Structure formats: C-alpha cells, structure tokens
Amino acid sequence: MPRHLIVGAGQLGPIARDESKARVVERLIALLHDASDQAVELLVFPELALTTFFPRWYVGDATEFDHYFHREMPDGDTQPLFDAAKELRIGFALGFAELAPDDGGTLHRYNTYTLVDRDGTEIGRFRKVHIPGHAGHEPWRQFQHAERHYFEPGPDGFEVWKAFDGIVGMALCNDRRWSETYRVMGLQGAELILIGYNTPLHYYPDPTQNALAGFHNHLVMQSGAYQNGSFIVGVAKGGIEEGVDSLAQSVIIAPSGQIIAQAITTGDEVVSARIDLDFTATYKGMLFDFERYRMPHYYGRIAAVRDDAQPPPREI
C-alpha cells in the first residue's frame, strides 16, 4: 500500500490584538474549507494561531495575559474548529498558548502544538523547547520578544507519533533553527515534521540579519529535512501584525531538501502537496542510514545528541 498523504500549510496573516477568538476561529475554519477543496488530509496551522503574537508586549505581571492562554483544548472558543475539521475529515496541528497544571497543581505556561486526528481526537501535544528572546523588559527595542517571560521550555522534548500512516513530529518556531530538533526526531524515525512560526523581520540584537530572515528560515528547514530524510511543513503567521512585519513564506519540503510548495502571499493562504511517505526511505535507507553510517562513538565527549538522550528534568 503506498503511503500518500495530502498535507497543507494553513498560513495566517496578522491577528490584531483586539481580534476575538471567535473571529480567528472563523478564519481557521475558512482555511479548512480551502484545504478541503484541495483534498488536504492534514492541515498545519502556525505557532500561536489563535492570538496576536502577544510576547511583543511586556507586562510585568504575566498573568495579565492569561486570557491569551487555554486551559483546555478544545474549549468553548475552539470547539467549532474541531467540529468543522471532523466534519471535513481533516486532521490538523494547531499552535496555542497553554496553561497547564502539574500534578501538584502548579500552573505552567507553554507554547504548545496539538496534533488532532481526522476524527477530532488529539494524537499528541508538543511544548516548545527552545524559547527565544528575553525574560525582562528591554526598552531599547521598538517591540519586545519576551517569550522567556511568558513561557517555560516544554519538559517532554521532541517526541514522535504514529499518525496519518507515518511517523510525525512537531516543533515550534525557534526550535527549527537548532539541528538537535530534527536529529532527535530523526533518531526516532520521523517522516513528517510540522513546524509553526512567528518570525519578526527585524532582529534588534543584530539588524544585519534582517535581510537574511527568509534565507535562514528555508536554510534550517531544508537542511533539517535532508539530513534526516523527512518531509517538513513549515507554516507562518506572516504580514504586518500590530506594526511588526513578520516573515511569511510557508513551505512544504521534501526529504531531498527541495521546496515542493510555497505560499505566495503574506496573508491567510493554504498551499498543499501530495507527499509519498515512502519516499523518506530514499534518504533514510541510503545516504542517511543512521544505523549504518552514523558514528556516535566518534563524536567526542561533549556530543549533544546521544542515542540515549533524555529530556531535561522539569525544574529548569
């Protein structure tokens, strides 16, 4: 049986600070309908797809932004999205801000992706590991990137799930810049990696990188796909959101590293591709046959990726 899957990148344009969750969910449902017209079976939405990218504002008491977070998924705001996807038989990945109590009742704030099956049930959840930006207020910036104020790193690391007839992993935005992200999933056999992002086009610590934002975005995902023999769907929330210009250029990438579909706008747009998950074997079974050619025992004493790598303890 061939393992063909039609995947879509459900790119979003800007979400205004005062845009209601109901309105955003309407936009996501419209993208689901576009995806359905393209026979998409799995639609990937961006990071923090339900709200404006609120870490661009620093509020000393982070709980003031708790209205951007969800304790349950789905909840009253997002149930219509889950219902529409189930009706259309489309699985999806949705980025959202999660407020999660641990066993002791302490609340944790995570930047989260949920992967949902075509019948509306949750397959798995990923919590962003590499939290970029800063934890305090940095007034010299024209806008903040205070993700480290609002989110803690996900404690579970990079897992993969058997889903959509393949092995699927997830990552969020800054995670895509780190080779470990792909390799940790690659070592678990990932065939399809879903990545949502919000990437400002202005990088205040080093503006010389501004012109390279699009290049770096594709560079890291194309190499991650190639070096691990995996498909990647990379999805932006792009355009000018609350005065901040953000990268679009959502893509679907093959294990060859080639871009096989790319968004042409900076707004709400679905691009799709029919992928053959068995094509991953071309790379995983030959040039990047890890069992045969990978040399972990020769990588030196400080190799960051080990076959027995464990996620860090919860208290970081």
Cβ-based neighbour number of residue 297 at 10 Å: 8
Distances (CA, A) of 175 to 154, 194, 198, 240: 11, 11, 12, 23
**Interface with ligand CDT (CB under 6 A), residue from 35, 171, 173, 244:** 173
Select which of 41, 98, 147, 173 is catalytic: 173
Given 78, 144, 199, 230, the residue binding ligand CDT (CB under 6 A): 199
Is 173 a residue of the active site? Answer: yes
Which residues partner with 234 through β-bridges?
A: 195, 251
Q: Positive or negative CA dihedral for 101, 153, 196, 117? A: negative
132 vs 146: CA distance, rounded Å: 8
Instruction: Look at residues 9, 4, 50 and name the one whose alpha carbon lies nearest to residue 27.
Output: 50
Stretch 74-133 residues interacting with ligand CDT (CB under 6 A): 132-133
Q: In terms of CB distance, is 177 or 183 closer to ligand CDT?
A: 177
Residue 177 makes contact with ligand CDT by CB under 6 A: yes
Site string for ligand CDT, 33-52 (x = CB under 6 A): --------------x-----
Residue 128 catalytic?
yes
Within positions 126 to 155, which residues make up the interface with ligand CDT, using CB under 6 A? 132-133, 145
List of E strands, the chain: 4-11, 42-44, 69-70, 91-101, 107-116, 122-127, 160-163, 166-172, 192-197, 231-236, 239-241, 244-246, 251-253, 259-262, 269-276
Using the rule CB under 6 A, is 11 a contact of ligand CDT?
Answer: no
Least distance from ligand CDT to the Cβ atom of residue 73, Å: 19
According to the binding rule CB under 6 A, does residue 57 interact with ligand CDT? no
Q: How many binding residues for ligand CDT (CB under 6 A)?
A: 11
Alpha-carbon distance 291 to 53, whole Å? 41
Taking CB under 6 A as the binding criterion, the range among 8-16, 68-76, 192-200, 254-262 that sits at the site for ligand CDT is 192-200
Binding site for ligand CDT (CB under 6 A): 47, 132-133, 145, 173-174, 177, 197-199, 203
* Catalytically active residues, by annotation: 47, 128, 173
